[in-house]
Amino acid sequence: MNLPDPQAFNAWMQSNPMAAMMQDVGAHIKPEAMEELKNAYLKDFGELWQDLLTGKTPSVSDRRFSSAAWQGNPMTAFNAAAYLLNAKFLNAMVETVEATPQQKQKIRFGVQQIIDAMSPANFLATNPEAQQKLIETKGESLTRGLANMLGDMGKGHISLSDESAFEVGRNLAITEGTVVYENPLFQLIQYTPKTATVSQTPLLMVPPCINKFYILDLQPENSLVRYAVEQGNTVFLVSWANPDKSLARTTWDDYVEKGVIEAIRVVQDISGVQKLNMFGFCVGGTIVSTALAVLAARGEQAANSLTLLTTFLDFSDTGVLDVFVDETQVSMREQQLKDGGLMPGRDLASTFSSLRPNDLVWNYVQSNYLKGNEPAAFDLLYWNSDSTNLPGPMFCWYLRNTYLENKLKTGELVVAGEKVDLRSIDAPAFVYGSREDHIVPWPSAFDSLNILSGKTRFVLGASGHIAGVINSPAKNKRNYWTNDSGKAKIAENWFKGATEVAGSWWPEWAKFLSDNGGKKVKPKAKPGNAKYQPIEAAPGRYVKVKAD
């Protein structure tokens, strides 16, 4: 094999936007390790160069470069293959860097962000698909793409979905119900029963305050709320306010005391039942568990059962989110927000998008801007762009005491004037994790079983943080795993003994609710009661408020 001509190779490397990063990373690697990587790189690049000189089209398996426009021309295929080779080399360099695991994870994350951004698919000058469309449309695609980009700049986010296709209350969040209580922090929705009888024990659902609640009530065919109602439950749901300056000093204690505990009190009063079936999703589950432990410290067991979906109680392993949390970053946020303030929803959305940049950023840059396409209507992605703010004091407390210092599981924390001992929650628990979850790694969700003291059951679903949860039986998609032996204390051991089941995990949860629902009774004819009168129809005003 002949190596590339040195002058041509050097010229190509100087024009390569990833070359500088190779040098920067290489400066932190032992010379002998760097020499070994360099030799392997030159060998692979030499083969690729020879293919180019002989007119042979390199084989490229990455889906970003799978079309005929990329594969049908040796030069464009070479650009793609060279980019992938550089990416492979850079990732190998990162693994060779001498650093602590946390430092290496941050380097790995930062390098991957640049690798993804430098893809030739992201630039009109190197994207043959976009060039081909530009020619076919006689420049119209570029005009539309520029218009799309300017429109998104005005909105402050990349359009992931046709936002004109959806409206909350019209074709999203349309499960019938009534707002029966509100305070500055949340509205409480009571949903209209759909069955002749209902379980005596009501279900109180607490979604994450980081996003709008209607991820649980998208459209009728994929609404977890509607499904719970149709299974014969009296369902109440917390709709968090989208904080503005009036809530800028709100604390974690407020979310627990004036949020979840207040919602429990209202549901107890309306239903006449003191122990409720409690439900928390993501950070909603963390808040619910904290609230139940606070009540337990006051001598009250308010949960008849507890459902936790993709929830951290043990923050030992927070996955890739760990790159955003260290003493320096948390202290900086505390300094910025020490006198109150808001963590903007757009910043939170950008953080989560950076965890999957090819899917949630660059894919839409290519389609919307370079090719001038309009995004398709997709309810989940519409919700993903409907961001919410967080009060600064609450956000900073959450970062430091959970992600950074992992104090929630220790029993050391004082919340709402009480020591929080999660083991004091006396209720059976249904714990769910998603196998491909990049926000709450499923072994971390599983670790909740080693904290809660009641009878627990774990179910593992396919797919990610959101798609794994929103998996209606009506579509009969994906699969899930169960292992009810009760022996495994470590996630990996649990999975080795698990049984794979086709379809949605929702019926498993429905059975858990039924088993803990008590006797069947006739549903109440009207929402609320004499003390808590109907305020407005679901989904209410709070969920429609946009983040600034």
Q: Which of 135, 117, 243, 105 lies closest to 186 in space, CA to CA?
A: 243
Distance from C-alpha of 285 to C-alpha of 95, rounded to nearest angstrom: 35
Alpha-helix runs per DSSP H in 54-138: 68-71, 74-96, 101-117, 128-136
Distance from C-alpha of 242 to C-alpha of 150, rounded to nearest angstrom: 26
Distance from C-alpha of 396 to C-alpha of 380, rounded to nearest angstrom: 28
Distances (CA, A) of 95 to 28, 289, 318, 321, 450: 11, 38, 20, 19, 32
SS3 sequence of 176-202: CEEEEEECCCEEEEEECCCCCCEECCC
Phi-psi region of 318 (alpha: psi -120 to 50; beta: other; left: phi over 0): alpha
Identify whether 209 is a catalytic site residue: no
Classified as helix, coil or strand, 295 is helix
390 alpha carbon, distance to own chain's centre = 16
AA identity, residue 156: G
Which helix (H) or strand (E) segment holds residue 144: the answer is helix 140-155
Q: Give yes or no for a contact between 479 and 437, defined as CB atoms under 8 angstroms apart.
A: no
User: 276-281 and 303-309: which strand pairing?
Assistant: parallel
Q: Which residue has the tokens 């320096």?
A: 328
Distance from C-alpha of 255 to C-alpha of 205, rounded to nearest angstrom: 14
AA identity, residue 267: V
Q: Give yes or no for a contact between 532 and 172, defined as CB atoms under 8 angstroms apart.
A: no
Out of 180, 225, 270, 282, which one is annotated catalytic? 282
What angle is formed at CA 528 by the lines to CA 523 and CA 531, rounded to 5 degrees? 140
- DSSP-derived letter for residue 139 is T
Q: Give yes or no for a contact between 514 and 232, defined as CB atoms under 8 angstroms apart.
A: yes
Distances (CA, A) of 247 to 25, 206, 237, 392: 44, 19, 21, 9
Q: Which of 291, 245, 252 lies closest to 394 in space, CA to CA?
A: 252
- Record the tokens describing residue 14, joined without a space: 């100087």
- The residues that are catalytic are 282
